[in-house]
Amino acid sequence: MFRRGLVRRGAVAAALALGAVAVGAAPAQAIELPPPGTENLIVMNFYRGDDLVGQKWWGCPGQPAGRWGTETPHPTFHFVPC
């Protein structure tokens, strides 16, 4: 009986370890940067589902940075010419 529990725990641990490796191996998506030498407003959009719930922006000379709403863990980035 003790052995069966030990084998089961070992199988569960191995499955969790393989799952962690598989998730960690997923390719990251790079943010597409604007062409060098251009001035751009950098805008971060925050979504909850399909709803836009907040934004942050900065980067144009002479214009203040700003923000509104709520930040969520996975923002999207956009670059808008100044």
pLDDT per residue rounded down to tens, the chain (82 residues) = 555 555 556 555 555 555 544 444 556 666 677 777 778 999 999 999 999 999 999 999 999 999 999 999 989 999 989 9
- Number of domain units in the chain: 1
Give the structural domain span for 37. Answer: 2-81
Q: What is the pLDDT of residue 11?
A: 55
DSSP labels for 3-67? HHHHHHHHHHHHHHHHHHHHHHTSPPPPPPPPPTT--EEEEEEEEETTEEEEEEEE--TTS--EE
Q: Which residue type does 13 have?
A: A
